[in-house]
Amino acid sequence: MEVMNNNEFSKEFKIGEQTKEFFNQNMNTLLKASAIVAFIRLIQDLAIYTIGDTSLGGGIAIITLIASSLALFFLGLSIKVIAGNWYLNKTNIELKQAYDSLNGKKLTLFISSTIKGIKIGLWSLLFVIPGIYKTFSYIFNEDFVIFNDAKATEAIKLSKELSKKNIFEIFIYYLALTILAFIPAFIIKILVPIFIMMGLGIIAPFISFVSNMIMYLVALSIMSGITMKFIDLTQKIGLELNIK
């Protein structure tokens, strides 16, 4: 598979500008998806606050943590579908329609993402840098499953091949948006202990809700940008994509 270099890529596609435009045109959808995950986390925070450190509180915390992780995973995949249609076909589709389009691929996506996570985890045990490198090597894993009907292990291999000449640019993009998300989220988070000290601890979960909304909003925006980069790169090499 032939992949263009960073200079060629920069001329063809500016990921930040496209992500911003996608965000502006699909803000309601992104907010809806972010709110779903943040609401599940709100239930977790309220359970911890009201029930406390008990077996019931711990059980609810574990269940809601798993639920929020799965919700973020599948909502993120749905946002990728929406981004693919928006960027390539110039059409906007609803969140439910995007989620339904994943039928028949959800198990493959879950297996492939699990394998990816294990590989990244094992590389991270060696040193931090190899783990980071593998994270960005496998960044197009889900896109290959969604848009190219790749199998679980095949998607990982294809992602590694496609991203190897563009890892630095992907890393900078991730870093920039993560910093933008971290600053307001961090400022909001530090208000939590202040409210607790003032005896207004019941407000703390709702402060965390706003903070989580910001972080999830940025995470989903990043996913959309990566999908658009994936489409741009695969079009350059003439790979046919399954985007309806």
The segment with the largest mean pLDDT, out of 7-11, 144-148, 202-206, is: 144-148
5 has a pLDDT exceeding 50: no
At residue 217, the pLDDT reads 86
At residue 3, the pLDDT reads 38
What mean pLDDT comes out for the span 49-59? 68
What mean pLDDT comes out for the span 220-244? 84
Please give the model's pTM, rounded to 2 decimal places.
Answer: 0.82
Higher pLDDT, 99 or 217: 99
Q: Which residues make Cβ contacts (< 8 Å) with residue 15, sequence separation at least 6?
A: 169, 173, 225, 228, 229
Cα–Cα nearest to 138, from 111, 114, 158, 118: 158
Q: Which of 54-68, 69-83, 179-193, 202-216 has the lowest mean pLDDT?
A: 179-193
- Calpha distance 104→94 (Å, rounded): 19
What mean pLDDT comes out for the span 17-35? 88
